[in-house]
Amino acid sequence: MKIGITYDLRQDYLAEGYSLEETAEFDRPDTVEAIEAALAELGYEPDRIGNAKQLISRLAVGDRWDLVFNFAEGMYGIAREAQVPAILDVYNIPYTFSDPLVLSLALHKGMTKSVVRQGGVRTPDFAVVECQADIEAIDLPFPLFAKPVAEGTSKGISGASKIVDRQALREVCTDLLHKFRQPVLVETFLSGREFTVGVTGTGDEATAVGTMEILLLPEAEAEVYSYENKAKYENRVRYRLVRPAEDPVVGEVEQLTLTAWRVLNCRDGGRVDVRCDAAGKPSFIEVNPLPGLHPRHSDLPIICGFVGVSYVDLIDRIVRSARRRIAKHTPAKQVAV
């Protein structure tokens, strides 16, 4: 079975003059190498494709694949993560992870929160700031938390993201609007514990692989899992596995995670970020349906390592999930499961 691999390499965009922060979500060559090696070990025939433009070039000369392992982030626009899946849909080529609708929705944190709330999932009260006038219209109690509506890797999040008064709200939102050229999500600040939950599978078959608590060390920017804290996690952050059997709130966290995952129709694998309020009640913060997959530094593989799931097994779970759901909607003679 021939499996193409689509991805964006950080070094390519740095060479074009983009900054370290602008390229923070993109991957390193050793991530691609690790996925390629895992697929080969599982008996597949991996084929590196590259980014969306490289995919278009390959398709134009007639190249095709039985499945594409897609973790391309895209560069431009709020729907950037949906670009590669949309191209593959045009050619009816199946792929891992979520479809264009889900990837577009999930990158816009405000829209995502609206959908999960409608599905009965607890999430902090929020407002989306599109322009200066929206800042003055916000009627939420302080403290608040502000971040770009469509960024990952904690881009745009700093110690200033926790906002305690209206003047700070104006300053932070104005700065984020100017710097990131996109709306700003403002939500009620939650002061409790913070978790990220790894998920594999789709629909009723989705399972919580494990839950990791994020603990900020004294050297970290206080109270927020900021861009700087994440970039310097070795000295600023401690990650620890927490289990439902040992910690009752973890069971609530994982149930909330799986409900949100299914409401959003996420597929194959990813993460959900959850934070508790002062009373210890967990709330949905955001979902990552296109997770980082560096074998040592990305959260989902770290979680898997904590629970004894090898990197090869993680890649196998993702591919098997994709193949099972594809088989349900394809004549048996066209798909070997």
pLDDT tens-digit readout, 58-88? 999 999 999 999 999 999 888 999 999 999 9
Q: What is the pLDDT of residue 279?
A: 97
Asked whether residue 317 is assigned to any structural domain, the reply reads yes
- Total domains present in the chain: 3
Asked whether residue 107 is assigned to any structural domain, the reply reads no
Range of the domain at 298: 194-325
Asked whether residue 105 is assigned to any structural domain, the reply reads no
Asked whether residue 135 is assigned to any structural domain, the reply reads yes
Residue at which a domain ends, from 73, 95, 117: 95
Q: What is the pLDDT of residue 230?
A: 87
- Pick the range with the lowest mean pLDDT from 27-41, 78-92, 147-161: 147-161
More confident residue, 300 or 328: 300
Q: Are residues 213 and 316 in the same domain?
A: yes
pTM given for the model = 0.94
Residue 332 has pLDDT above 70, yes or no: no
Q: Are residues 52 and 164 in the same domain?
A: no
Q: What is the pLDDT of residue 303?
A: 98
Q: What is the pLDDT of residue 337?
A: 41
Q: What is the pLDDT of residue 98?
A: 98
Q: Are residues 274 and 212 in the same domain?
A: yes
Which CATH number do you get for residue 226?
3.30.470.20
Q: What is the pLDDT of residue 331?
A: 56
Residue 164 has pLDDT above 70, yes or no: yes
Residue at which a domain ends, from 188, 206, 231: 188
Q: What percent of the chain has pLDDT over 70?
A: 98
Asked whether residue 101 is assigned to any structural domain, the reply reads no
Judge whether 105 and 115 are in contact, CB under 8 Å: yes
Residue 243 has pLDDT above 60, yes or no: yes
Asked whether residue 278 is assigned to any structural domain, the reply reads yes
